[in-house]
Amino acid sequence: MKKLLIPVAVLVAVVALLLWFFSAEQVVKRRTGKLMSILTMEETGGGNSRELSALGLGSLIADELALETPTIEEANGVHQRTDIESGFGGLTRMANFTKFEMVEMHTITINGEDARVNATIEAVVALPAYRPADGLYEVELDWKKQKDGVWRLSRAKWQETR
């Protein structure tokens, strides 16, 4: 009986760990972290690694992405994934560097096939002539579980913290 107890306890622990790891909240949290990582470009980063980041962005976003921001008027609206990828590709060639870092994740709300992340991030986009983003921002990221079972970003809203 004691010999059976140890393998059963290990099996229960592994199943519990897998259920936690693949829970919607943890998947959305990891995808949000990956988004921040992809959007970050080192100053010394080579062009090839930046272009690969642009390709990685496409796997995180839905076919249509709604953007809302008071700071960059031209960005507002619903955009096709290909347009976002193209714009980000241009940014990878133009930017001196970018930084997107999660300062604090306030909440993750899961409602069936939809998830919302509310967080504070530090964002810097350094272009040769100016910085369209530089500071702390409150963000609201809406993730939607797609037909293929993958969570993709469908809406991003951000505003500077006061």
CATH number (domain holding residue 65): 3.10.450.50
3-state SS, 35-67, equals: HHHHHCECCCCCHHHHHHHHHHHHCCEEEEEEE
Mean per-residue pLDDT, 149-159: 96
In this prediction, residue 98 has a pLDDT band, given cuts at 50, 70 and 90, of very high
| pLDDT value at residue 111 | 96
Q: For residue 27, what are the domain limits? A: 2-160
Query: What's the predicted TM-score (pTM) here?
Result: 0.88
The count of domains in the chain is 1
